Chains A and B, each alone.
Chain A
């Protein structure tokens, strides 16, 4: 769909700023390339590739924060943090081959967003180049920060139409000491909803379509995939409560990869542009250089 004719491949944020300032004909931003099919057709003269912005730049496990280049894949972040018993619970729909920059730019949640945080809740700060070519370093590496106006939240979910994200600072969590994935069969939706909102809320609870249930080897109506996390007594109590609702089969945590992969990342819907949103877009990218057309805005 993209009509990119030429790829630009910067290695430093200053180069990204130069490219944006000099751009003629629009830039299509590309991280790991796994999201290029979503959104409206982009008409851009160039593709701006961010795969050189890759890797962990700062990680002190005791702080439960990590700073990574925007082109780093989610799988790479998972590998780096797992070694310390931690994880970045971003885990969006789709798979972990996508870049963290894309996950943040599209604000894509996943099955654990309700319990562990949405992208806007997990991003502590970021570095980006806005459409005017300014290098912006917003937020920081600390978990609480109200210094200045919140450019971080503005960039999360802006689909690269305000700025090119080059680095992100993320909040991590310790992996729960007990972590169980269960398939519950024969449960009513009412009972499952009540469980979800009860005293022992799961990390995720997802009703499975027939095809997905079959992929997991358990076809049948009313199948739910549940993930329980916490300390051992908590998870044991939750399992007991669940057993009264339906038949529970223990599956591996890998089942979530299947489920996440089955759910395509949500496409960039054609936004309903409010006057305020248009002002924001024009203020940060006055020449309409970044991802032009992706969100269906009037040319």
Chain B
């Protein structure tokens, strides 16, 4: 172990020479802050954390690690919900100091940024040009754009505007071996390696610089709250709105458990607490015709059984309606000390049936499932507040979640729509994909990272990669 300790010390010294000694952490107590992301239940402590302050420093850090074959994990703000940014006894590279907005080109509607820029910061900077960055995860006030790209993050407004993938135009990436490459969408001839990189969860390299699409602010916005006495009716209204050809900017469903959690919290938004479900619906676009869309939405909701459809009359009212939705996870903190946030997608027409099944699965296991999700995309978020220190309750939560996920897979859905696989969803990958498909995913990863040093052990179970089977255990630990 003395040799290993020495190795960490000499590596820390070398990295300190690149980024400044105070931006390298090696003490266990200081590394404690990095042992989890926003998903409780996984604790993996890095052996060392390094925080480069410039793009050049980031590249130098990766090259220094490559020289010794040291694995690493990139981390933005740590708001991920899949245990994806955890470094187990290896090097964590934090990008949050790389927060320069390099350029905003208002005519071309693009922004070039460093990976540590916070999502909402870019939107604030673009506001001067009547532009914004459309993907808006609920963590947008904290999450970084580099992390968004790594996870192919979504958000309420992705229903109309598309997920992160649709908004990244170019990325300069440092590959795990230290090579610097520029990836684009293949528009000018070439494979869409940018498309492959987005959502690769840090397994293909680290984005050093990103060019993102900015979206014009809509001329007008109408936000509505529809109030239902059954979850199935709310789900049915969702399908009918989309099928009618109206593409709302957002179409979010909250069930009664969620409504109550929100209304009992400091984020109370004035939702009707006796409703079985509410739909938060926003339409935006040119002023002309927007009222017609809102009227159509109201009529569809009423026909599906809504008791009431309210319109926010001013910006403050609108803000309040959204606050309840965006802070719903936080509000659940009042219900229990821990929260499992799930992320599955099903075909939209199966939402009503699925929600019924989720309710009975929850009841059978004696756990309280709160649903708050992107209904327009069929992107479910069944969440269970619980006490992780209660072994019996933890086991029941785990069993219920597993059943819910299996039900979603059986419905022709998928196990994650925007949070990523990380560590948490690894067990489901072999249920969802064939051995050949997983093997092909391994092939793709290995073209970027032949030694599998970037975010080792995530996304695809190692045993699924034929060429890696039979090899000694992955060099996960720094001192290994």
Contact = CB atoms under 8 A, between A and B. Distances in A.
A138 B460 CA distance: 13
A175 B203 contact: no
A205 to B, nearest CB: 16
A3 B286 CA distance: 54
B286 A271 contact: no
A285 to B, nearest CB: 11
A177 B425 CA distance: 41
A61 B414 CA distance: 19
Contacts of B166: 121
Which of A150, A162, A173 gathers most chain B CB within 10 Å? A150
B439 A150 contact: no
Given A150-B198, A199-B287, A136 B437 contact: yes
B433 A135 contact: no
A284 to B, nearest CB: 6
A151 B441 contact: yes
B163 A153 contact: no
A111 B203 CA distance: 36
Interface string A136-153: 111011111111111101
A206 interface: no
B41 interface: no
Contacts, number: 206
Contact of B288 (A143, A147, A177, A233): A233
Contact of B440 (A147, A151, A158, A238): A151
Given A134-B436, A147-B432, A140 B191 contact: no
A11 interface: no
Contacts of A263: none
Nearest to B420: A146
B196 interface: yes
B265 interface: no
Nearest to B433: A148
Interface residues of A, number: 65
A157 B186 contact: yes
A62 B243 contact: yes
Given A62-B239, A148-B429, A276 B440 contact: no
Contacts of B443: 132, 283-284
A271 B189 contact: yes
Contacts of B186: 107, 157
Contact of B417 (A121, A144, A150, A237): A144
Nearest to A276: B181
A234 interface: yes
B348 interface: yes
Interface stretch (B301-309, B329-337, B361-369, B444-452): B444-452
A227 to B, nearest CB: 16
A214 B195 CA distance: 40
B198 A231 contact: no
Interface in A243-299: 268-272, 274, 276-277, 279-280, 283-284, 295
A280 B189 contact: no
Interface string B279-294: 0000001111101110
A169 to B, nearest CB: 10
A261 to B, nearest CB: 23
Interface in B405-424: 412-421
Contacts of B10: none
A151 B444 contact: yes
Contacts of A269: 188-189
B3 interface: no
Given A121-B162, A149-B203, A62 B349 contact: yes
A143 B200 contact: no
B382 interface: no
A151 B152 contact: no
Interface string B220-263: 00000000000000000001001111010000000000000000
A20 interface: no
Contacts of A197: 216
A156 to B, nearest CB: 6
B20 interface: no
B95 interface: no
Given A121-B166, A137-B437, A153-B165, A147 B429 contact: yes
Contacts of B243: 61-62, 64, 174
Nearest to B288: A237
Contacts of B291: 233
A237 B286 CA distance: 9
B185 interface: yes
Contacts of A157: 186, 191-192
B300 interface: no
A293 to B, nearest CB: 15
A65 interface: yes
Contacts of A60: 347, 349
A85 B244 CA distance: 9
A145 B420 CA distance: 9
A149 B195 contact: no
B151 A146 contact: yes
Contacts of A237: 286, 288-289
A284 B437 CA distance: 12
A146 B152 contact: yes
A142 B412 CA distance: 8
A141 B411 CA distance: 11
Interface string A156-167: 111000100000
B425 A147 contact: yes
Contacts of A64: 242-243, 348
B319 interface: no
Given A121-B166, A154-B191, A63 B348 contact: yes
A204 B263 CA distance: 45
Nearest to A161: B191
Contact of A140 (B412, B429, B446): B412
Interface in A106-149: 107, 120-121, 130, 132, 134-138, 140-149
Given A120-B192, A173-B245, A199-B287, 10 more contacts: A141-B412, A142-B417, A145-B416, A146-B418, A147-B428, A150-B195, A151-B196, A153-B165, A154-B444, A236-B288
23 contacts: A134-B437, A140-B413, A141-B347, A142-B345, A142-B347, A142-B378, A143-B378, A144-B374, A144-B378, A145-B345, A146-B151, A147-B432, A148-B460, A151-B196, A153-B165, A154-B444, A199-B287, A200-B286, A236-B288, A237-B288, A280-B193, A284-B440, A284-B443
Interface of A: 60-65, 85, 107, 120-121, 130, 132, 134-138, 140-151, 153-154, 156-158, 162, 173-177, 197, 199-200, 230-238, 268-272, 274, 276-277, 279-280, 283-284, 295
Interface of B: 151-152, 154, 158, 162-163, 165-166, 175, 181, 185-186, 188-193, 195-196, 198-200, 203, 216, 219, 239, 242-245, 247, 285-289, 291-293, 296, 345-349, 374, 377-379, 412-421, 425, 428-429, 432-434, 436-441, 443-448, 459-460
